Structure 1
Amino acid sequence: MLKITQFFCHWKRRKGLFDPDSGVDGGDLRYSLHGYGAADIFTIDEQTGSIYSHKRLDREERALWRFIVLATDEGGGGLTGFADVIINVWDINDNAPMFTCMPDDCNGNVFENSPADTLVMEMAAVDRDDPNVGLNAVLTYRITENVKNEFGTDMFNINPNTGTIHVAAGMLDRERTERYFLTVEARDGGGLTGTGTATVWITDVNDNVPKFTKKLWQAAIPENSAIDSEVLQVCATDADIGENADLMFSIIGGDPDEKFYIENDKEWQCGTIRLKKKLDFENARERQFNLTVTVEDLDFSSVAVCLIEVEDSNDHSPAFLSQFIQTNPLFEDVPVGTTVTTVRATDKDSDLNGKITYSIKADSDPMRQFVVDQFGHVVVANTLDREAVQKYTLIVQASDQGTPARTGSVTVLINLLDINDNGPRFEAPYMPVLLHAFDPDSEENGPPFTFSLPPDYQNSLDFSLTDNGNNTATITALRSFDRENLVTSCPFLFLSHVLLSQLYPTGCSPSFADFRESCIYVYSGCIYCFVVFPAFLLSCDISSVITLPELSEIV
């Protein structure tokens, strides 16, 4: 067996190879080398048997070579013998230590707040030299670039024999620094060194309390908001990471009727408060909510206050106490400006949504005989006339000022009482034989009627008046008339005096009279006693008829 130092190219001759026939022709030996590497790496001197290496040897690539050496006598033409040749390559310190985790995998992890001597990682290196030969592969470790804490002391140390890194001082805080870089050196016994960078990651522990970004949150929401409407988004922060920073929001107070719920968003560390039930601003308990909201992680929690104002919506129409009002009857001569009645509407809404204005629907009072003011007083606006309209059915509206506005209404019935403000008059404007008259006043100011001639005609020899007792009167001619003896603008016509009625008061109301002219054709030789025409006169009081009517044509 031969031993040769790597990179050494000197030959060695094998001793003890001989031939008993030496001294004669049979002692002339020739050597040859056989095996892997016998031609290109190693050669043998065929006469001397010396073995040479043609290339530098590297023990780290191949530490042992095995060959067969043949020896032939008689100058190579005689007998042959052989021998095994083993070549061991002797190690030299030609390799520096190397960290196998480089360049990307030299990572270690340790929990924040870990105490001193807590194992962080092993920073192991290798040396390709022979560990069994000298100190070429014996390694020692040290940290050449450490990190300092706020007191100036090293935060990590390393075992010089094993390369394991430990916490030197228990002051690790991930929220301050989440990773550290250490430069580690490995040195072999021959003085060769290798370096590597150790990355120490600080693992989070749940050592921070979640905090709301604000202690007081405020929002406003209309009372008519739909279910699931977003009311407010509250957010919090947690200096921890991972599951230690998974936050859960909840409502823990201020919502006895469970009007709200909260929706969690772990990604953004926020909670969205949404509407769970309908709101009613008109309920005093639901105009403002003072919610207490909490945020929790795995171990800690904090609270905040959410002040939610409910805004009134125009969801109520003005309402009257009654849908129908019948006023006391009203005399038709009531003065303009008289208050007929007062209506009042209420609106449960507030502010402009509950501010009411009154009006009268136009088509219920087209002549605008009435107005209503802001206090709900229904007032006579123009002179009334029962003979034109006997009753009014007003639609009084109450409208709020919301957007859009809402309206309520009430029906107001006004009956007019008659006063004796009209005299009797004949019903038709033509020259009647049968005269019809009427009084537009009410029944108490109308029939029954009485008829009589005025005093100047009480003893008339031409006509007589008979009261028939049924609100009619008969005028009778008492004699025949001679047309030629009559002086008139109508040769064939007798034009009477004006028919008048003089009414005397009964103590209840003033009286009035009407008149009519009548023309009667007169023929001589006719019977002188005949009915001229029945007269019909309207009056509520005693009537006195002043008349000499025109005579009707007598056939």
Structure 2
Amino acid sequence: MIKVRTDGLENAYEDIRPLFFEFEVLEDVRLGYIVGSVALEGNSNWKYHSVSSEGNDYFDVDSTNGDIMTKSKLDYELVHDVILEIIASKSGQHSNVERSISVYVRIVDVNDNRPEFAENTTWMVIKENSAIGTFIGQVSAEDKDSGDYGTIDYALVSAPSAVRIDQKSGIITVAGSIDREKESVYHFKVRATDVGGLSSEIEVLLFVADKNDNVPRFELESYSTEIPENVNVGTKLLTLNVVDEDSDYDFSFEIDRRGNERRLFAIDQDGIVYVAAPLDREYNAKHSLRIIVTDQKPPHKVFSASTTLSVIVTDVNDNAPKFTSPSTFFVFEEVPLGTLVGIVNAVDADFGNNAQLQYRVLPASHPEAIFIVDPVFGYIQVNGRLDREKRSVYHLTIDATDRGSPSLTSSTNITIVLLDIDDNESILNEVYYGKIAENSPIGQHVVHVTFEDVDEVENSAKIFAIESGDPDNDFRISTRSGLIVVNKHLDAEYRSVYNLSISMRCSVDSKKQFTRVQIEVIDVNDERPRFKEGDHLVFAVAENLRGPYPIVLGSTIAEDRDQDQNGTISYAIVQVSLYI
């Protein structure tokens, strides 16, 4: 709609009438659009032209009819109104007549501009687990239109339920759960719409900042690896991979000192476990390590996890056998072939084949092969005739070799001493005599049985025994020395002579030799005479008995068990008592 107000003169004098026109025109009219006319009435001879002004850039005036037309595109957002100065002129009878016309053109706004964002894409950041209502960010669009046409409403397009936007301010806030482990980036748009329905959109990238709310975990609950004991320090064992659903982590690894007291193993911050000190399987063949990982460092919230790593140290043949058996053995001469002399034993600190040993007699040390050794058990056995009278000592070198690759060997020197056996006759004296008083104490020496033997003195320590003649064991003989001593209290009155048969042999299985021993028990006056009738004798006699005197009243007999003079008895009356 165009409003035209024409103010002309009220009277008929054209030369003094002030002219003022006011028009309104929509900003979106076409070029050449007639805004209005400033034609003067009553005479068509007027000519119109505009005086130089800024309005000339937008409008032209028709020189013949005074129509004002658009010259260029109007834009309310650039120019709200324009003032034109127009001169109307005509030729008179005597001179030219000019009139000045002022024209005010008001440009009316039209909703011809969409809301515009400063950029096509924007990004924002929000921490996960933020509370509902937490401010995320704000979008803002501009609309060059004025009035209601410049009023903008905001709305979300294809947005998650976890966010909302204020319709008027464009402030975006948290509306639900934000979990980075479920969604790390949200893609959505915000639409800005003016009252006239024109709109534009901006793409929003909402990045979810991680919060340390998840515990790290190792890929496996436990790990196991094998490594030879001679591995170089610094050798990598394996890499422990850790999974953490959080993104903002700073892993730190450590090995618990329990199980790693000697600090044989270490771990770097990339989770690589490596050998930190020389290993020795013989000291420890299996190491159980507890490895701990933390995902942050204080003062941040810290979560940790642990796993176990079993390190099996495999054996390397790095230990030679060590002999633990004695170096000297003894064996009797003349023992049969195959007789066990002794056992050589060696130990190997290695494991498996590296610790399995084989024994052998070094041929150069014992070419006659009188002795052999079992290669597995180390038994030393007789392999030929042993005669001490020809050779009494043998010296051998025995090797122990393990089955490692390469194998290791140790040697030991042993000595075998032959023991003499009684293979020569012992000569006993034919008869031994001894005397002993019957009151002699127990242990009193009686007689010493001796012999002659051409064998080694050590082997002449024979075994003596009383074979017969002493059923009550009144005597005993030393089994080694042949000394006979009193074993019980003797009684010459009970037995005064013993005839003993004595045997001697070199060993349990050897032949016995015999001799005789006669022992006389000498009597000691140790028995009192005893009356056969007892301690009281009673004799009856008639009174007034007449002689001749002495008259025999009766008799008594006493006995003494002692022998010879010790058993001779004499009688005497020592006291007389008369009874009526």
Tell me the TM-score normalised to structure 2 length. 0.56
1:354 paired to 2:362: no
- In structure 2, the partner of 1:173 is 179
**Residues 358 and 209 (structure 1 numbering): CA distance in 2 closer, same or farther, change over 3 Å?**
same
- In structure 2, the partner of 1:140 is 153
- Deviation, 1:157, is 2.1
- In structure 2, the partner of 1:128 is 144
- In structure 2, the partner of 1:407 is 409
- Deviation, 1:406, is 1.5
Q: In structure 2, how many angstroms separate the alpha carbons of the residues matched to 1:382 and 1:2?
A: 149
Amino acid at match of 2:63: E
- In structure 2, the partner of 1:160 is 167
Runs of at least 5 residues in structure 1 that lack an aligned partner in the other structure: 149-154, 266-270, 418-555
- In structure 2, the partner of 1:213 is 219
- Deviation, 1:164, is 1.0
Amino acid at match of 2:185: R
Aligned residue pair count: 385
The higher relative CO (CA closer than 8 Å, separation ≥ 6) is in 1
Cα deviation 1:371-416 (Å, max 9, x = unaligned): 4312223456579999xx9998754221112232211122457899
- Deviation, 1:138, is 0.6
- In structure 2, the partner of 1:5 is 26
Match of 1:239 among 231, 241, 245: 245
**Residues 64 and 364 (structure 1 numbering): CA distance in 2 closer, same or farther, change over 3 Å?**
farther
Q: In structure 1, how many angstroms separate the alpha carbons of the residues matched to 2:368 and 2:40?
A: 153
The structure with the largest alpha-carbon Rg is 2
Cα deviation 1:292-328 (Å, max 9, x = unaligned): 2222122112233333333333221002248x95777
**Residues 81 and 363 (structure 1 numbering): CA distance in 2 closer, same or farther, change over 3 Å?**
farther
- Deviation, 1:233, is 3.4
Q: In structure 1, how many angstroms separate the alpha carbons of the residues matched to 2:345 and 2:417?
A: 21
Match of 1:316 among 319, 322, 337: 319
Instruction: Assess if the C-alpha contact under 8 Å between 1:33 and 1:44 holds in 2.
Output: no
State the percentage of identical aligned residues.
Answer: 29
- In structure 2, the partner of 1:118 is 134
Q: In structure 2, how many angstroms separate the alpha carbons of the residues matched to 1:44 and 1:176?
A: 69
Q: In structure 1, how many angstroms separate the alpha carbons of the residues matched to 2:366 and 2:87?
A: 144
Tell me the TM-score normalised to structure 1 length. 0.58
Q: How does 1:361-376 map to 2 (within 5 A)?
A: 361=362, 371-373=372-374, 374-376=376-378
- In structure 1, the partner of 2:254 is 250
1:200 paired to 2:206: yes
**Residues 391 and 164 (structure 1 numbering): CA distance in 2 closer, same or farther, change over 3 Å?**
same
Cα deviation 1:314-369 (Å, max 9, x = unaligned): 221002248x95777999x9986566764322212232221111124466567877
- In structure 2, the partner of 1:466 is none
- Deviation, 1:236, is 2.4
Instruction: Assess if the C-alpha contact under 8 Å between 2:323 and 2:347 holds in 1.
Output: yes
RMSD: 4.3
Instruction: Assess if the C-alpha contact under 8 Å between 1:34 and 1:69 holds in 2.
Output: no
- In structure 2, the partner of 1:274 is 274
Q: How does 1:120-519 map to 2 (within 5 A)?
A: 120-129=136-145, 131=146, 134-148=147-161, 155-169=162-176, 171-242=177-248, 245-252=249-256, 253-265=258-270, 271-283=271-283, 286-298=284-296, 299-321=302-324, 342-361=343-362, 371-373=372-374, 374-379=376-381, 394-412=396-414
Cα deviation 1:38-70 (Å, max 9, x = unaligned): 47x642222444331144433346556676656
Instruction: Assess if the C-alpha contact under 8 Å between 1:227 and 1:277 holds in 2.
Output: yes
- In structure 1, the partner of 2:124 is 108
**Residues 62 and 356 (structure 1 numbering): CA distance in 2 closer, same or farther, change over 3 Å?**
farther
**Residues 16 and 338 (structure 1 numbering): CA distance in 2 closer, same or farther, change over 3 Å?**
same
Q: In structure 2, how many angstroms separate the alpha carbons of the residues matched to 1:375 and 1:43?
A: 130
Q: In structure 1, how many angstroms separate the alpha carbons of the residues matched to 2:167 and 2:330?
A: 116
Instruction: Assess if the C-alpha contact under 8 Å between 1:31 and 1:48 holds in 2.
Output: no
Amino acid at match of 1:115: A
**Residues 180 and 384 (structure 1 numbering): CA distance in 2 closer, same or farther, change over 3 Å?**
same
Runs of at least 5 residues in structure 2 that lack an aligned partner in the other structure: 1-21, 297-301, 420-580
Instruction: Assess if the C-alpha contact under 8 Å between 2:39 and 2:65 holds in 1.
Output: no
Q: In structure 1, how many angstroms separate the alpha carbons of the residues matched to 2:348 and 2:369?
A: 27
